[in-house]
Amino acid sequence: MKQQIFKKFKPGTVFNPLKGKYLVSKEYQLVKLKFPSRLNAMAIDPSKITSNENMIFTPGEVVFSVKIYRNIVIRIEGKRNQISISDDSKRKSLIIHAVKLMQKALNVDDGLYISVDNKNELRHSGLGSSGALIAGVASAVNELYGKPISNGNLVVYLAQNHGEEIETDNDHIQQVQCIGGSAASGNFNDGLIIITGKSKIIATMKVPKEYKAVIGMPKDYTPLDAEKMMKLEEKNLDKFLVTGKRYGREIAYRMLHEAIPAMVDQNLIPIGNLIFDYRFKMGSIKNCSFSYSKMISIANKIAFLKNETDTPVLSLSSVGPAFFAITKDTNKISDIFKKNGMKSIIVEIENSKYKVSRKTFWNDQKIVEYFADKPPDVRIKTRLEKIKKRSKIKALDLGCGGGRHTKLLLQLGFDVYACDTNPEMLKTTRN
């Protein structure tokens, strides 16, 4: 029996740790985050869509960010190392994986509560739902601790430790190739992002507002479990290798000398032509057809849209079966998708990274009351009491918090000044 190439592992397993130590802050108690989705237009070197033992994949990719969001709430709560997830959050193994990855990277062990609104996700359809879920939760944890990990480093870390859920095994997740597109879409501005090498973002472009994305999803498609999907992909890896060897040089030349220079002028046509040729003429759609048997037939029926509409980009997303167009002719594209057996979704391009709001830990009323009622530090009190002629001495309580030492200074007769960055703490001190 042939050994499975892509294996399963326990959530939180780190294959490639981040280097160095990160200085975390517990300034925030709660973070709310809206994380967008990505459409994967093409691989830059499909011969690198392969297997390895180190979880580092280098085919590169071209992605578009769209306004399909995961709404994530995360707060410090519970016992140490306790991870609590709301009942209505789906795909809990991936949420746990994201949280544990970040706890290990930041060396923190606080209890955390997570809620994710992802009940309407289109799973295993080429829309990056797994990557966006992991990246969204990881980004929220990063924000909760003061964002010590840079956007670029976070993309690399998540790409090199990626997995997808297995429906029949909640204790493990499936090893899957990841280049970083979902994490990049949420962590970097601009609607078009180019990723090469070891998940490095080398170019971005703000997509003009007149363009929108139309996504077509075959109505009769049943999402496959990640483990089943990867077994199918293993059987087809040789096809990706052949395409890469045959067209790799042409793709690289056109990307470097045509597509990226045109992005400077917000011109989608050169990169759209390259994407179309890769998908429809270089065999990419055929290579990916293991995920859905009618994929080639649909591709043949919709290929004319590239030349007969104002549609610079027409592509399959990842390995499908979702097709998408970046277009001005949204209604026409949508109608054609529907006529060819697909559900159609029209969404705006997201030219910004994730959106975040935070509730400061030190302004939480319970925390304010705790520190306001806490007695002064005995060591500080003892030293202050030894100072003579206190009424003639100005004392600054820098970072006064709830005012426990400010009150002590006043009681001892100092001329006291106090300041703090947190308004709720200062309010208590003034009172």
Q: Could you give the strand order of the β-sheet that contains 169-175, starting from the edge strand earlier in sequence?
A: 8-9, 169-175, 163-166
CB-based contact 214:346 (threshold 8 Å): yes
Average of per-residue pLDDT across 304-327: 95
Contacts of 147 (CB under 8 A, 6+ apart): none
- Total length of the chain: 431
Model confidence at 3, in pLDDT bands (50, 70, 90)?
Answer: very low
- 6 or 88: which carries more pLDDT confidence? 88
273-303 residue pLDDT tens: 999 999 999 999 999 998 899 999 999 999 9
Average of per-residue pLDDT across 88-104: 95
Helix, strand, coil % over all residues of the chain, rounded to 5: 40, 25, 35
CB atoms within 10 A of CB 188: 19
Eight-class DSSP state of 173? E
Out of 7-11, 71-75, 313-317, least confident range: 7-11
The type of residue at 162 is H
Average of per-residue pLDDT across 57-77: 95
CB atoms within 10 A of CB 379: 8
Distance CA 195, CA 267 (A): 18
CB-based contact 384:396 (threshold 8 Å): no
From the list 155, 156, 175, 154, the residue with the least C-alpha distance to 164 is 175
In DSSP terms, which residues pair with 357 in a beta bridge?
A: 32
DSSP codes joined into one string, 312-326? SEEEE-TTSS-EEEE
Model confidence at 2, in pLDDT bands (50, 70, 90)?
Answer: very low
pLDDT at 52: 67
- In this structure, what token pair is assigned to residue 206? 């703000």
Distance CA 147, CA 33 (A): 13
pLDDT at 167: 80
**pLDDT > 90: percent of the chain:** 69
Model confidence at 55, in pLDDT bands (50, 70, 90)?
Answer: confident
Out of 46-60, 225-239, 256-270, 342-356, least confident range: 225-239
pLDDT beyond 50 at 240: yes
pLDDT at 232: 77
Average of per-residue pLDDT across 257-284: 97
Average of per-residue pLDDT across 164-176: 85
**pLDDT > 70: percent of the chain:** 97
Q: How are beta strands 415-419 and 394-398 bridged, if at all?
A: parallel
204-230 residue pLDDT tens: 999 999 999 999 999 999 877 767 777
Mean pLDDT of the chain: 91
* Residue that is written with structure tokens 């290579």 in the block: 287
Please, what is the angle between helix 404-411 and helix 378-385, to 10°? 20
Distance CA 370, CA 401 (A): 10
Average of per-residue pLDDT across 353-379: 82
